[in-house]
Amino acid sequence: MSSFWQNVRRTFRLLTYNKVGFIGLLGVIFFILLSFVGPYVVPLDTQTKVDKIYQPPSSEFWLGTDSEGRDIFSQIVHGGKDVLVVAFLAGFISTTIAVLFGSLSALAGGWVDNAIMALADIVLTIPQFPLLAVLAGLVKFNNVTLLALILGVLSWPALTRAIRAQVLSLREREFVEAARALDLGTRHIILKEILPNMMSYIAINLIFAMTAAIYAQVGLVFLGLVPFSGSNWGVMLSLAWTRGAIFYKGSLWYIMAPVAAIALFQLSLVSFTRLLEEIFNPRLRTSV
């Protein structure tokens, strides 16, 4: 029991070691709770109230009301889920592809390496936004998974190249050579010797892939290329824009709320990466 609490204390010390990173972690947790638990607590306000248009924040409407007198806060609560799901999924997909392709490319070499790098170059040169715009015309992006898949599949090349370079350098390290001499097997070498030494790098890049996915997604929704039903921070922004919210002083809250939500979430993610570096560094892990 005491060793359990010791572990809890040590974990806490490790997490709070980097103050900025810890605040980032708290921010990420806050937005996850807000978007996934929040909707069960705060009902979505869909009722048009003509007498309550563009109200400033009050005890009734925490973030004021929109052009139809609906509560902005409830929209923020309900509008996060899709954004977060797409971000996590797209980040996860692109990072997974990058790790697989990057390692394969570096370890297999020869034509496999050439083929993967050629593919990466091609994907890298495709202008993403116009392509997405065209795709949006062809495919109906009516579910988040499909959008996440497309974003993920388009954004792996840069990381793949970086992973390949890292694996190439790690492969020449003496401890990997020793593992080869000990006949520990390719699986062990990749999973136990090489990957753990790139984990902080991979995790940090996963986060950056997520932030990129958020911008791509919000951008698409904002431009109306992806017709999302219901509320979504991007949809909110788009609606606020099309309703001319930027021209009214009173509508500031309407347009600023989704912008702030997106920006704060991104900031939390980026700050969180600072913590990741330390979590994956055994030197720090053992010194706290």
Chain residues that interact with another protein, rule: CB under 8 A: 173-175, 177-185, 188, 192-193, 196-197, 199, 282-283, 286-287
CB 261 to another protein: min, Å: 37
Q: Minimum distance from CB of 7 to another protein (Å)? A: 14
Nearer Cβ to another protein, position 147 or 179?
A: 179
Sorted by sequence, the CB contacts under 8 Å of residue 7 that are 6+ apart come out as: none
CB contact at 8 A, 207 and 91: yes
Nearer to another protein, 196 or 244 (CB): 196
**In 3D, which of 10, 9, 3 has the Cα closest to residue 288?**
10
Work out how close the CB of 285 gets to another protein at its nearest, in angstroms, rounded to a whole number.
Answer: 8
Identify whether the C-beta of residue 255 lies closer than 8 Å to the C-beta of residue 246.
yes
Measured over the CA atoms of residue 150, residue 26, residue 201 and residue 263, the dihedral's sign is: positive
Min. distance of Cβ 16 from another protein in angstroms?
Answer: 16
Query: What is the rounded distance in angstroms from the CA atom of residue 105 to the CA atom of residue 161?
Result: 9
Query: What Rg do the C-alpha atoms of the chain give, in angstroms?
Result: 23
- State both tokens at 33: 């709770």
- Nearer to another protein (CB atom), residue 84 or residue 179: 179
Q: How far is the CB of 182 from another protein (least distance, A)?
A: 5
- What is the spatial distance between Cα 203 and Cα 206, in angstroms, rounded to a whole number? 5
Tell the smallest beta-carbon distance from residue 284 to another protein (Å).
Answer: 10
Q: Which is nearer to another protein, 145 or 169 (CB)?
A: 169
Q: How far is the CB of 288 from another protein (least distance, A)?
A: 11
C-beta of 121 vs 177, nearer to another protein:
177
Q: Smallest gap, in angstroms, from Cβ of residue 279 to another protein? A: 12
Indicate the residue type of 269. Answer: L
Q: Report the sign of the C-alpha dihedral through residues 243, 248, 250, 252, in that order.
A: positive
One-letter-per-residue 3-state SS of 171-192: HCCHHHHHHHHCCCCHHHHHHH
Closest to another protein by CB, 1 or 181 = 181
Tokens for 17? 């070691």
Distance of alpha carbon 151 from alpha carbon 171, whole angstroms: 31
Report the residue number, 30 or 175, with the smaller CB distance to another protein: 175
Comparing CB distances to another protein, the nearer of 137 and 282 is: 282
Ramachandran quadrant class, 219 (left: phi over 0; alpha: psi -120 to 50; beta: rest): alpha
